[in-house]
Copies of this chain bind each other. A is one copy, B any other.
Amino acid sequence: MPDGPDFLDGLLATWAAEAPGINVDALGAVTRIRRLATYLERGVDKALAPLGMTLWQLEVLAFLLQAPRSGLQVTQLLPAALLSPAAMTNRLDRLQEAGWIDRIPDPEDRRATRIRLTRTGRAMTKKALQVRSDAAVAVLAALSPGQRAKLAPLLRGILRGLCESECATIASEASTSNY
């Protein structure tokens, strides 16, 4: 496989010429990761459309799949979603309208609400996860089995570094804010 230049290579060369101090490899990697994420998001949304679901909805539902029968508090959903409390409230409103989740008052803390999957929500989530999985398999078919095996450790390694630095700085600055 010759693997000629892609959309970024020309740009990177220009950038290197204009700003000589930059690291072309690093800049190329993060730019491609961002672009990849955009493509993946659009592809999955397209695949989920027949189920009447979007990716941001599935993200919440899929996390709720591992909740205890009593449900989870809104606050407990935030770190997994990397979302503000306001955004989560909005998502839950839509999911409740769709009939996929229930809000029930927390018996142990009257400030809180417990979020639970409904029966249909649970079934839809399983179907949607299957769709998402199939889409992911199709995308990764572009890589050889050996390449696919290399991918996971790399992603894990970068994420680990980010969670220790980035999340730490977020946490330290989060005196009032919360996510």
Contacts and interface: CB of A to CB of B under 8 A. Distances in A.
A174 interface: no
A176 B125 CA distance: 33
A19 interface: yes
A103 to B, nearest CB: 22
Given A22-B129, A42-B166, A36 B140 contact: no
A151 interface: yes
A93 interface: no
Contacts of A26: 133, 136-137, 139-140
Contact of A161 (B28, B29, B139): B139
Interface residues of A, number: 73
B66 A126 contact: no
B126 A18 contact: yes
A27 interface: yes
A161 B143 CA distance: 9
Interface in A59-102: 62-63, 65-66, 79-80, 82
28 contacts: A3-B157, A6-B159, A7-B80, A11-B62, A11-B80, A14-B65, A15-B62, A19-B129, A21-B130, A22-B130, A26-B137, A27-B136, A28-B152, A29-B148, A30-B140, A32-B156, A34-B40, A37-B38, A39-B162, A39-B166, A46-B169, A139-B162, A142-B162, A143-B157, A143-B161, A147-B153, A147-B157, A150-B150
